[in-house]
Structure 1
Amino acid sequence: MSDTHAPTTRLNKRMAELGLCSRREADEWIARGWVRVDGRVAGIGVQVAPGARIDIDPAARGHQQEQVTILLHKPVGYVSGQAEDGYQPAAALVQARSHWRGDASRQRFSPGQLRGLAPAGRLDIDSTGLLVLTQDGRVARRLIGEDSTVEKEYLVRVAWGEATVGVQPLVPPAALAKLRHGLSLDGRPLKPARVDWQNPEQLRFVLTEGRKRQIRRMCELVGLKVMGLKRVRIGAVTLGQLPLGQWRYLGPDERF
């Protein structure tokens, strides 16, 4: 039994908080009559108490299992989301002919997999590497929800002044310390980051947040210029051998 005196929450928000689906999916399921609250079919916009019993029709689970998550090796020159300023969205690369032959998944591509496919996180137009596109709101929430702690790893080629070769010995240790912790963007402090030299011209960043152009702006604040940026890992999922401009499915045994 739910407590009628407890503060209530909109049903779609509560379902997202419970990790059942995204808010958008919740609205779709509710509209289809697939959601019951305390035994009654729920309506759009209904408010629920914290202890309310939420039951999901098996049809919704089947619908969810059909949703795909795609891993794309985004090239420079594509935007992550909607087309803008004449640049194509990265999702335009998700075609049968660009499906990586090395994909271990047994899934086959169909045009229906493009419906509702959206990026779960940004990768700037001038950056390359691993981009996640998903139809599954649970995946999006895990990667870009306000409470997300999933690590994102980047290889970042940098310059110091005019120097683009042998940069490491020129950069003061204090600059690296600031990159790790102590910087703010847009008046808000950044979470601690792991930042180390990968080689004399390249830094490895590991972040748990994704502010707009974050790494480039962080580097500017300490006098570094980003010459190239590549995302190589999100959580436990790596870019691996996925060729530039090609994509594969997230495997059933893979988790972010």
Structure 2
Amino acid sequence: MENKNQNSTNLNKFISSTGICSRRDAEKFIVAGRVTINKNVAQLGNRVFEGDEVRVDGRLLKAKPKTLYIALNKPVGVVCTTDSKERKNIVKFIGHPERLFPIGRLDKPSEGLIFLTNDGDIVNKILRAGNNHEKEYIVSVDKKITDDFIEKMSNGIPILGTVTQNCKVEKITDFVFKIILTQGLNRQIRRMCEYLGYEVTKLKRERIMNVSLGKLKTGDWRELTEEEMKEINQMISSSSKTEEASTIIEKQKPKPKKKKETPKSNDFNRKSAAFRKNSPKSKRNSNANSKFGRKRR
């Protein structure tokens, strides 16, 4: 029995995990006889095993997919978009069965570290420029790097109608430098170099926040570790959504119609509010609205 329980989930927890309601509301649905497991009316304390069909008011519940956080060493030529019309888009390149989207961008001619996830909240938080999340790059240019170049790159360059924030720049060889940014302007490093008369010949992102490429080979990806995610969540704990971040992620996702409608039967997992309206606590609706998704009159 103990082994079975390890591979199962408490019913109220399972219902809550689908996002339709809280555990407390889930218990109310169970007590009211509105929940079935494999067509049998459920009771408090029942557990859900893999393959079980759980329904509320006859509507099948689907568990949310596992939250994924992936680090990819992007090759040159891959485009950071989810647009299926782009033959070399990053999602096709990875070929993961879950629907993922990139966190931020890395130009087509650039390579290196980029995160992908199915967690929209963390995208907004990481992209928020004001949080000073560091990104480290190794850059090769076509001319010898001077002290003047390093100083000007470090102290701000006028591009895209603004002046770039101060950043850390370090000369590695005559033609290679390291730069650590906390901004994410479009083609920022290339534009900064162009302003000073230099052309970037190679650009590779080596680190985002606390995660480095390490031994990850070009084209390979791995899931972020629990320790890495714990540290990232600590770093973004005070972050919130911003217009900049929201705009980026919304461009990557299909835009849903923002029409307020009473949920239809196939909208079951998305409209938890209807459950609260129909909960047994509301005497007014307990009989007339026992079915989810009653049409407006």
Matched, 1:143 2:117: no
Alpha-carbon shift at residue 183 of structure 1 (Å): 1.2
Alpha-carbon shift at residue 138 of structure 1 (Å): 3.5
Instruction: Name which of 131, 136, 147 aligns with 1:153.
Output: 136
- Contact 2:73/2:113 (<8 A) preserved: yes
Question: TM-score with structure 2 length normalisation?
Answer: 0.54
Alpha-carbon shift at residue 94 of structure 1 (Å): 1.9
Deviation string, structure 1 residues 203-238 (Cα, Å, up to 9, x no partner): 101000111100000000111110000000001100
1:253 alignment partner AA: E
- Contact 2:129/2:182 (<8 A) preserved: no
Cα distance between partner residues in 2 of 1:223 and 1:252: 43
How many residues are matched?
175
Alpha-carbon shift at residue 185 of structure 1 (Å): 1.8
Cα distance between partner residues in 2 of 1:192 and 1:84: 37
Cα distance between partner residues in 1 of 2:119 and 2:225: 14
Cα distance between partner residues in 1 of 2:225 and 2:158: 37
Deviation string, structure 1 residues 2-47 (Cα, Å, up to 9, x no partner): xxxxxxxxxxxxxxxxxxxxxxxxxx95xx34599xxxxxxxxxxx
Cα distance between partner residues in 2 of 1:138 and 1:147: 16
Give me the CA root mean square deviation: 2.4
1:152 alignment partner AA: K
Give the greater-gyration-radius structure (CA): 2
- Contact 1:77/1:87 (<8 A) preserved: no
Cα distance between partner residues in 2 of 1:76 and 1:215: 16
| Structure 1 counterpart SS, 2:150 | helix
- Contact 1:69/1:134 (<8 A) preserved: yes
Instruction: Name which of 227, 230, 248 aligns with 1:253.
Output: 227
Deviation string, structure 1 residues 137-179 (Cα, Å, up to 9, x no partner): 343123202433110000001112xxxxxx23xx3x2222111
Give the 3 Å change call, closer, same or farther, for CA 249–200 of structure 1 in structure 2: same
Cα distance between partner residues in 2 of 1:141 and 1:200: 38
- Contact 1:128/1:229 (<8 A) preserved: yes
Matched, 1:231 2:205: yes
The alignment-based identity, stated in percent, is 34
- Contact 2:80/2:107 (<8 A) preserved: yes
Give the 3 Å change call, closer, same or farther, for CA 77–84 of structure 1 in structure 2: farther
| Structure 2 counterpart SS, 1:141 | helix
Cα distance between partner residues in 2 of 1:230 and 1:139: 23
Instruction: Name which of 83, 87, 109 aligns with 1:126.
Output: 109
Give the 3 Å change call, closer, same or farther, for CA 89–196 of structure 1 in structure 2: same
Cα distance between partner residues in 1 of 2:184 and 2:175: 23
| Structure 1 counterpart SS, 2:199 | strand
Question: TM-score with structure 1 length normalisation?
Answer: 0.62
